[in-house]
Chains A and B, each alone.
Chain A
Amino acid sequence: GQQVMQIPQYQHVQEGEDFTTYCNSSTTLSNIQWYKQRPGGHPVFLIQLVKSGEVKKQKRLTFQFGEAKKNSSLHITATQTTDVGTYFCATITQGGSEKLVFGKGTKLTVNP
């Protein structure tokens, strides 16, 4: 079935440094969604990308969907301690079923 590979698994940065997590697939994706899970919390939806080459921004967060729709990235500029958590990408399973398949996530820690 559809799978998405997320890298890196862990990332530790100093506050103020940038951070990027990548989500890759061997097959074309219909869409990609990004979620953030704070430590001890539940995943929260951030954004959905649908179009080839799409770029969306939310304050310091920039989301990209590759031209071939096989990869996506989430970039955080000048990280803050409030950015800590695990970031997951997710996509719809092949065949248009009503479920998502999630990447394993990238855990971000920020040293103040």
Chain B
Amino acid sequence: SQTIHQWPATLVQPVGSPLSLECTVEGTSNPNLYWYRQAAGRGLQLLFYSVGIGQISSEVPQNLSASRPQDRQFILSSKKLLLSDSGFYLCAWSVRYGGQLLREQYFGPGTRLTVT
């Protein structure tokens, strides 16, 4: 069965510090991978998605970046955090589209980031 891991679960970082959040998926190959951010009590904002190694699509211009160094690894980074970067960061995967209807997304447990 497939499993998605995210770490850390919670993180408190000062403004201006760097960030690295990691997401890994087990039990599947060639998944689509996604990073979302959810502000407190708000909806899901898609930040980045990837359909393959080294392929990153950015949805929202900001001080965050993403990388996919391996098929089942997705990393979210920042060189300098802003207060507005606080939120709940969720990684998700889905089966690649491949001509079929878009499949459902499976979310990881998330990382709660507080920038102070």
A contact residues vs B (CB 8 Å cutoff): 30-31, 33, 41-45, 48, 50, 88, 90, 92, 96, 98-105, 107
Q: Are B43 and A104 in contact (CB under 8 A)?
A: yes
Q: Are A43 and B107 in contact (CB under 8 A)?
A: yes
Among the 9-residue stretches B61-69, B71-79, B97-105, the one with 4 or more Cβ atoms under 8 Å from chain A is B97-105
A88 contacts across to B, CB distance below 8 A: 43-44
A41 contacts across to B, CB distance below 8 A: 109
A107 contacts across to B, CB distance below 8 A: 41
Kindly provide the distance from the CB of B66 to the nearest chain A CB, expressed in whole angstroms.
13
Interface of B is mostly: loop
The docked-state distance in angstroms from the alpha carbon of A98 to that of B104 is 11
The docked-state distance in angstroms from the alpha carbon of A104 to that of B44 is 7
Q: Are B109 and A99 in contact (CB under 8 A)?
A: no
Contact of A96 among B94, B97, B106 (CB under 8 A): B97
Q: Are B101 and A50 in contact (CB under 8 A)?
A: yes
Interface size class of B (residues with CB under 8 A): 20 to 34
Q: Are B44 and A99 in contact (CB under 8 A)?
A: no
Kindly provide the distance from the CB of A107 to the nearest chain B CB, expressed in whole angstroms.
7
Known A-B contacts A98-B51, A98-B96; the reply to A43 vs B44 at CB < 8 A is yes
B51 contacts across to A, CB distance below 8 A: 98
B104 contacts across to A, CB distance below 8 A: 33, 45, 48
The docked-state distance in angstroms from the alpha carbon of A44 to that of B109 is 10
A45 contacts across to B, CB distance below 8 A: 104-106
Q: Are A42 and B96 in contact (CB under 8 A)?
A: no
Kindly provide the distance from the CB of A20 to the nearest chain B CB, expressed in whole angstroms.
19
Name B11-46 residues within 8 Å CB distance of A: 32, 34, 41-44, 46
B87 contacts across to A, CB distance below 8 A: none
Kindly provide the distance from the CB of A13 to the nearest chain B CB, expressed in whole angstroms.
19
The docked-state distance in angstroms from the alpha carbon of A104 to that of B41 is 10
The docked-state distance in angstroms from the alpha carbon of A36 to that of B9 is 20
B97 contacts across to A, CB distance below 8 A: 96, 98
